[in-house]
Amino acid sequence: MQPLDAIDTAILRAIQQNGRISNADLAQRVGLSPSACSRRLDILEKSGVVSGYYARISPKALDYRMIAIVHISLSGQFAKTLAEFEAAVKLCPNVLVCYLMSGEYDYILRIAAKDLEDYERIHRDWLSALPHVVKINSSFALREVIDRPSIGV
Amino acid sequence: MQPLDAIDTAILRAIQQNGRISNADLAQRVGLSPSACSRRLDILEKSGVVSGYYARISPKALDYRMIAIVHISLSGQFAKTLAEFEAAVKLCPNVLVCYLMSGEYDYILRIAAKDLEDYERIHRDWLSALPHVVKINSSFALREVIDRPSIGV
DNA sequence: CGTGAAAGGGTTCACTC
DNA sequence: GAGTGAACCCTTTCACG
């Protein structure tokens, strides 16, 4: 991937804020003709810099008002242990993010729940049932300060 | 917000996967006429269930290969202390996510960096310079298992 | 990279069931 | 609420300078 110039950067910034902007408007905003802008965007999409377009659904509007951050430790780091855990965690729709980590805990999860009672259900029926888990540590978000879809460019 | 029926759910699922789907295609996919589909989507947007559309930029394509999870403790929980910290953290473009938390640490951050050297720079120039910080704990993602933009509907 | 034009498709009405 | 049909606007995408 060749480095991005100022115009590519401006394109990325624009479509990151508005994924449904038309090519004509985008071109005007970055100071390019529609054809040139379309060519650049095409390259950015085909090269994988733009990996897709998504609608953002507000969790609150769907009545998901709680965000929990959960640290999990497993009984070992064998490949089979990790694979089985990951296959199981992928089945839980409340898990928004899951990272395999270095350090004290093996996994960090971000989980959406409707309320504390809902979280208790998730904890009981999903988290505690995950294979190879030996330690679960939950904490709760009091406020969302930043939530960017990607790095600022 | 009134509860969503099966068609609303199907609409949300579709636009979550493809934010640039045309209303005509969307209508066909959920089994509605274009006009009815447009009306429903309009309601979903105006009521805030759909909070926007955005392009997903691949951090890897921009050469950001590292994800760090950082736990931070402040010297107090006074409103002024939190406000000053949050104002400062918002200025760092590498911070993708920041939550004010209950529990042992005050904040959890998700940070993108190009490599370890880049992360050291961020740690030195940004994190350590944030006001009121008394404790920083960094760990690194070995693998991204799940990263959903929103909850599955 | 910009211009211009052609073609194709999408959105959005008013109206009906 | 949902479907139909048509008009209008806009977008995309060429070939060429």
Architecture label for domain A59-140: 2-Layer Sandwich (3.30)
Asked whether the predicted pLDDT for residue A24 surpasses 90, the reply is yes
B146 vs A95: CB contact, 8 Å cut-off? yes
Q: What is the band of A2 on the pLDDT scale with cuts at 50, 70, 90?
A: low
Which pLDDT belongs to residue A1? 63
Q: Which residue is nearest to nucleotide C2 (CA to C1')?
A: A33
CA distance A19 to A6: 19
**Strand C protein footprint, C-beta under 7 A:** A 7, 31-36, 39-40; B 22-25, 34-35, 38
Per-residue confidence in pLDDT tens, chain B, 153 aa: 667 899 999 999 999 999 999 999 999 999 999 999 999 999 999 999 999 999 999 988 888 999 999 999 999 999 999 999 999 999 999 999 999 999 999 999 999 999 999 999 999 999 999 999 999 999 999 999 999 888 876
**What residues have CB less than 8 Å from B120, skipping those under 6 apart?**
none
Residue B152 sits at the vertex; the CA angle it makes with B146 and B153, to the nearest 5 degrees, is 175
Decide if domain B6-46 falls under CATH 1.10.10.10.
Answer: yes
Residue ranges of domains in chain A: 6-46, 59-140
Instruction: Measure, in angstroms, how far nucleotide C14 C1' is from residue B36 CA.
Output: 14
Task: Please give the mean pLDDT across all residues of chain A.
Answer: 94
The full DSSP string for B39-82 is: HHHHHHHHTTSEEEEEEEE-TTTTT--EEEEEEEEES---HHHH
Distance between CA B120 and CA B127 in Å, rounded? 10
Contact check, Cβ <8 Å, A56/B150: yes
Query: What does pTM read for this prediction?
Result: 0.89
Q: Which residues of A touch B67 (CB under 8 A)?
A: 99
Confidence (pLDDT) at B94? 96
Q: Which nucleotide is nearest to B24 (CA to C1')?
A: C10
Cα pseudo-dihedral A108, B69, A147, A42, rounded to 10: -100
Residue of B nearest to A53 (CA): B55
In chain B, residues with a C-beta closer than 8 Å to the C-beta of A141 are 99-102, 108
pLDDT tens digits for range A27-85: 999 999 999 999 999 999 999 999 999 999 998 888 899 999 999 999 999 999 999 99
Amino acid residing at A113 = A
* Within A 32-51, residues with CB less than 7 Å from strand D: 34-35, 38
Query: Measured between CA atoms, how close is B32 to chain A, in angstroms?
Result: 20
